[in-house]
Amino acid sequence: MRKLLLVLLLPFVLATVVGALVLYPFGHEQRTGAQAGLAQVPVRGDVTAVAQGGCGPDQGEPGATGCVLVTVKMSDGAAAGREVRVPVPDQPGTPKFAVGDAVVLSYGGGDPNDSTSYQLADFQRGVPLLLLAVLFAAAVLLLGRWQGLAALGALVLSFVVLVLFVLPAILAGESPLTVAVVGAGLIMFVVLYLTHGLSARTSTAVLGTLTSLALIGVLGAVFSAFGKLTGLDQETANLVSLLGHGIDTRGLLLAGTIIGALGVLDDVTVTQTSAVWELRRANPSLGFRELYAAGSRIGRDHLSSVVNTLVMAYAGAALPLLLAFTLSGRTLGEILTAQEVAQEVVRTLVGSIGLVAAVPITTAVAAFVAGKEPVPESVEAGGVIEADEGEAGEGEAGEPRALWRRHVRGDLRTGYDPAKGPWRRPATGQAPPAATRSRRGRTARPGSDG
């Protein structure tokens, strides 16, 4: 079965690799910075003084107001070591600056010693972001250990694919949708196999992810065209003007939908596959229908929270936009059907449909494949449960009871349906006495599994 899965996936792997080689912009030199019309150069510095003052020529006059005068000592650039005083309009939305803040100035050319050549652009955030990244990595390694290390490596490789393949290929003029499909395939194969290993279980999750991604791509293309979504928001319009050549903005919208849904799809497919495999190991006598039914119950619980997560993620990203539309006085229908909001609605709903479809598809494939896989004779150290004395005899389907008693006890052995309660233990002989003592010296309750 493992070989069959690899044979099924091999054409997709080859197509992904060939597609990446064909789409990668070899020899293309992308214009950046001043060449692309962006003359502003970032310069770092530290705030040494903050005072109230006027704006423009009267900023130094006593009693003048309207601006906050921020004095910055530059740490790099053409005038490194010198101080400049930059006026910032004193408005409700203006950031608050304090002495000691590490900031970024925007140098627009001209005399580097003239304060009018600079504007306060942003704060420096390298140290807090690095600290947060270290805390994140430590938490993942503490819980996941070696598998957590593999997950971190897969995360790094995902960013490598995005930065070194997806972005350059789209900027070079390739179809954003095609690039996103190939890039998502690269990320999926690398992340899943590196994190979870080369196994039938991982290949099953890959098949479920591939199928769901294809569904998301088709639905996204259909409803983007049907809803006449152009993909032209303010950021995309600025990108088009900077590139100097045409770009498929609707394809860019679809590309974002596919890449955005990929991470959540991986979560759903891997969880469903792992659940089915553990059910199979807990009770080797379960067939396809039982595995599919039990896995679907797990999937429904998981799905209800995942769909809400995806909706909240998109809503959180578009929250300032939603607030602005609310202030415009438009009705709810007008807000939801506006270009900027409608494209987020399409992304959310199309991605959610893909997630919904991933549960039955992945569960069905996992139940079929897991049913063909051999059941291990033992489990990892610490998970082995010894058979009790007096457990000789045959279990369900003629299976030695002592063999499958090693794997699990209690209701997990036969499954549990919250709507129906625990399944009854199959009658295999006389009922056990009121209290029996196992080899481990513990007393079993009547009717329990030991």
Q: Do 111 and 125 contact (CB within 8 A), yes or no?
A: no
Could you count the other beta carbons within 10 Å of the beta carbon of residue 299? 23
Assess whether pLDDT exceeds 60 at residue 165: yes
What sign for the dihedral angle of Cα 83, 89, 90, 93?
Answer: negative
Burial 35-74 (b: 16+ CB within 10 A, else e): eeeeeeeebbbbbeeeeebbbeeebeeeebeebbbbbbeb
Q: Is the whole-model pTM more than 0.95? A: no
Task: Tell me the fold of 139-372.
Answer: Multidrug efflux transporter AcrB transmembrane fold (1.20.1640)
pLDDT of 393 = 41
Q: Do 339 and 230 contact (CB within 8 A), yes or no?
A: yes
Count the alpha carbons within 13 Å of 20 in the hemisphere toward its beta carbon.
Answer: 16
Q: Do 389 and 325 contact (CB within 8 A), yes or no?
A: no
Tens-place pLDDT, residues 188-224:
998 888 888 888 888 899 999 999 999 998 998 898 8
Tens-place pLDDT, residues 49-82:
998 887 776 666 666 677 888 999 999 888 888 8
For 76, the token pair is 């790099």
Assess whether pLDDT exceeds 80 at residue 394: no
pLDDT of 377 = 55
Q: Which has more confidence, 1 or 144?
A: 144
**Where residue 364 falls among pLDDT bands split at 50, 70, 90?**
very high
pLDDT of 36 = 61
* Residue indicated by tokens 């896995």: 295
Indicate the DSSP class of residue 9: H
pLDDT of 343 = 84
Between 184-193, 255-264, 380-389, the lowest mean confidence (pLDDT) is in 380-389
The CATH number of the structural domain formed by 34-123 is 2.40.50
Question: Domain spans of the chain?
Answer: 34-123, 139-372, 376-450
For 127, the token pair is 């140290």
